[in-house]
Structure 1
Amino acid sequence: MDLKNAREKLRGSIAPIITPFDEKGEFDQSTFESLINWHIESGSHAISVTGTTGEPSSLTTEEREKVMEAAIKAANGRVPVVPGTGSTNHKETLHLTRLAQEMGADAALVIVPYYNKPSQHALYKHFKTVADSVDIPIIVYNIPGRTAVNMEVKTLARLNEDCPNIIGVKESNKDFEHVNRVLLNCGRDFLLYSGIELLCYPMLAIGGAGSISATANIVPDKVAELHNAWFEGDIKRAQDLHYDLMPLNDVLFKDTNPAPLKAALGMMGKITPKLRMPMELPTEELQSEIRSVLEKYVDLSVKQ
């Protein structure tokens, strides 16, 4: 996908799909393919895999490659595919991003390296090297709550100026002043995506391109509809969906993502609710709360 098309097509609900495991804890490819088909049929505008919700830190590099390839083949050009290719390891990030391009990914989502807490100058060098190594669009993934370092607006603006294929950022950042300044300093055509569920609608209101919201795993149709309503100018409908989704957004983050998601998808009959250690499913008490909230959105008597 060229940069012009990317700016036009990578808008709306980019669903960050979970990585399903079978009872033995191995990648369940057939279930994964079914999830992708369901998302496309439900109206998700694009899909992302091996981002935070896809548990990349629980996967080997070879498994990440397999998930990326399976997603691109299953989507088969019906919607854009944006794999997460970043890690705390620079060489691995380069390898996965180049491989995503070779596989036919439409863009790559590259996380700010976690754990090692690089300086802003080091972040610039890391992302510029990655962007220069490929031709596909790059979306920076800024999630300071997980990485322990925030990409400052001036660093992002510098990358935007120096790297034509860095076209946007997923901001899992609760600092709403920060995200406003992203568009002020990077330009209004820079693609801003919300990674914070309660900010999906507010970010659209300031000129955002869409969201990469974990909640789309549960109700992809509603999350897509919120974006469609906004783009069509039906502000009241978008606001109504924003508030309608809030209880589900809240309960899905009462434990570390994607544990509540996998519990909920298990209740819906979509997956075997399995995580790899050191992650685990929520407590029975929280699972009961998840079920209670989920029943307001999904008919659990009918396996989805």
Structure 2
Amino acid sequence: MKGKYVEAKERLRGSIAPLVTPFKRNYEIDLDKQRELIEFQITNGTHGISVTGTSGEPSSLTVDERITVMENAVKTIDGRVPFVPGTGSVNQAETLHLTKVAQEMGADAAMVIVPYYNKPNQQALYNHFKTVADSVDLPIIVYNIPGRTGVNLEVNTLARLVEDCPNIIGVKESNKDFEHVNRVLLYCGRDFLLYSGIELLCYPMLAIGGAGSISATANVEPKKVAEMHNAWESGNLEKAQNLHFELMKLNDVLFKDTNPAPVKAALGMMGKIEPVLRPPMGLPSKEVLKEIHQTLIEYGKDVQNTFDM
């Protein structure tokens, strides 16, 4: 394996926060707010930053807008923490283009989602990811989220890719099947980077050798999400376990509706962004908004806005 990929495996660990894409009320991207969100993350100890993943509403952005968001992020981060943009699409040509752009701008890795809606078979998925991996000299983190893509990247398919593509160094598993994620490390190697994309599995995945998490909750509570990983790494298992349970209620409320709607509502209540999603996405119901509002208060957040609930 090339040295740069070994180094990436050592560096790309911990809480990699998958940032929302902030919009103005006219639905334009708010780059100033994005910079503020990045500073909020770094100040609170987040180990890495990702943009244009699920929480970043990539399917609501044009290719040019995705590049703008990536460029703004990499300039703001300025090498302080690893940068892992999401570059995947349902369209392979777009995926190739965005992944090459990520390499050119100096990203530490690219996160490439299993193509959604089309439901490719396993051989087609292998062909797709091998084509992407072969097109760049950049670490690739595969993103498996069967609940939103309609297809699961099976462990044997991923293991074939790891064997054939040395720059495929990890996977974000938004997969509630814990037997599946255990077998990822068994068949892809114990040094393969396994990230949890399921909030209630962030701690359990560390216990089996996971590399960290790419958790939407980090948008709202970056410090505690990062501290859970730090506690685990330092051997303070009691603290890590306590943080796991402390975060559980917040994790639950932030998924009362489709991500990132509750997260954006929470950030709006905290005064971090305008609570705007691009249609067809929209804010949660008033009942869910009230629950989010109350939960933020319980977590000691400075809640500034109520949205006239």
Aligned-partner Cα distance in 2 for 1:75–1:298 = 27
Q: Secondary structure at the match of 1:83?
A: coil
Aligned-partner Cα distance in 2 for 1:126–1:299 = 43
Q: Check conservation: 2:269, 2:303, Cα contact below 8 A.
A: no
Q: Check conservation: 2:297, 2:303, Cα contact below 8 A.
A: no
Aligned-partner Cα distance in 1 for 2:24–2:44 = 24
Matching residue within 39, 60, 63 for 1:61: 63
CA deviation string 1:139-193 (max 9, x = no partner): 0000000000000000000000000000000000000000000000000000000
Count of residue pairs brought into register by the alignment: 303
Aligned-partner Cα distance in 1 for 2:265–2:298 = 16
Matching residue within 33, 39, 42 for 1:40: 42
Q: How does 1:15-54 map to 2 (within 5 A)?
A: 15-54=17-56
Deviating above 3 A after TM superposition, structure 1's stretches of 4 or more consecutive aligned residues are none
**Residue 297 in structure 1 maps to residue 299 in structure 2:** yes
Partner residue of 2:114? 112
Aligned-partner Cα distance in 1 for 2:297–2:8 = 37
Aligned-partner Cα distance in 1 for 2:16–2:248 = 18
Matching residue within 265, 268, 286 for 1:266: 268
What amino acid maps onto 1:258 in structure 2?
Answer: P
Partner residue of 2:78? 76
Q: Check conservation: 2:271, 2:303, Cα contact below 8 A.
A: no
Aligned-partner Cα distance in 2 for 1:125–1:296 = 48
Matching residue within 278, 281, 284 for 1:279: 281
Partner residue of 2:243? 241
Aligned-partner Cα distance in 2 for 1:262–1:17 = 10
Aligned-residue offset at 1:270:
0.3
**Residue 199 in structure 1 maps to residue 211 in structure 2:** no
TM-score between the two structures when normalised by the length of structure 1: 0.98
Partner residue of 1:172? 174
CA deviation string 1:103-131 (max 9, x = no partner): 11110000000000001000000000000
What amino acid maps onto 1:148 in structure 2?
Answer: G
Aligned-residue offset at 1:5:
1.5
Aligned-partner Cα distance in 2 for 1:199–1:68 = 28
TM-score between the two structures when normalised by the length of structure 2: 0.97
Q: Check conservation: 2:194, 2:210, Cα contact below 8 A.
A: yes
Aligned-partner Cα distance in 1 for 2:112–2:178 = 21
Deviates more, 1:39-48 or 1:294-303: 294-303
Q: Which runs of 5+ in 1 are unaligned?
A: none
Partner residue of 1:156? 158
